[in-house]
Amino acid sequence: MTASSDLYIFIDESGNFDFTSKGTSHFVLGGVATLNPTASAKELISLKYRLLRDGNDVPEFHASEDKQAIRNQVFPVLNSMNEIQAHVIYGDKHYLATNLQNPGGIYSLYGKAMVKYFIQVYSGHSLSSITVVFDRTLTKKRRGQFEGVIKPELKSLNVPFNLYFHPMSTEDNGQVADYISWAKYVELERKESRPWGSLMTKLQPTEFNIFRNGYQKYY
């Protein structure tokens, strides 16, 4: 008999919710899924303590704010993680339908696609629970809109689930998701390919352009 497993999914975003010409062109959601979240967390925690020992004041990892010297040490650690699956969903916000041009709308579109992807990846496992942790970026009102899209997707699996919204600075695996989403974001937004290219050497996150067929109108 196959032992049941607990699936954990951590999701963070890069890009902003400004849908005017002043906003970012792209929005990226980065996700990390694992059956053993302590293994990947331990790798990042170990790096943090090594950095503190060496005189680096690093309270947590945040790709967009970390110095390049810190990033240079984080990426090899990410590539050493063997028990995670990484995925990014991205797109040019100009293709987003008008009714989805709000934080809850775009987050629901991307978030549902991300959860569905990881559920498919782990469909061969006997799951006893699913825990999904999103970045705490939405207001309470927008979070309700988002939950209205995500919860039916989780309920349809007939597996007990938990849905949380945490600051990614408090989630070690969330910080992994932060780095992955940021790496794809700077490749798209700034044409800076080195961070994403470094991840493709071993970790090899999968990626999906949600607007591959043009405008997206529905969840």
Sign of CA dihedral 184, 188, 189, 195: positive
DSSP 3-state of 27:
strand
The pLDDT confidence band at residue 140, using thresholds 50, 70 and 90, is confident
Distance CA 219, CA 207 (A): 19
pLDDT, mean of residues 189-206: 97
pLDDT at res. 203: 97
The pLDDT confidence band at residue 216, using thresholds 50, 70 and 90, is low
Report how far Cα 91 is from the mean position of its chain's Cα atoms: 14
Tens digit of pLDDT for each residue in 52-85?
A: 999 999 999 999 999 999 999 999 999 999 999 9
Please report where in the chains the tokens 């699996």 appear, as a residue: 157
pTM score: 0.94
Count of alpha carbons within 13 angstroms of residue 168, beta-carbon side: 27
Class level of CATH domain 5-209? alpha beta
Q: Answer whether 185's CB lies under 8 Å from 26's CB.
A: yes
The pLDDT confidence band at residue 3, using thresholds 50, 70 and 90, is confident
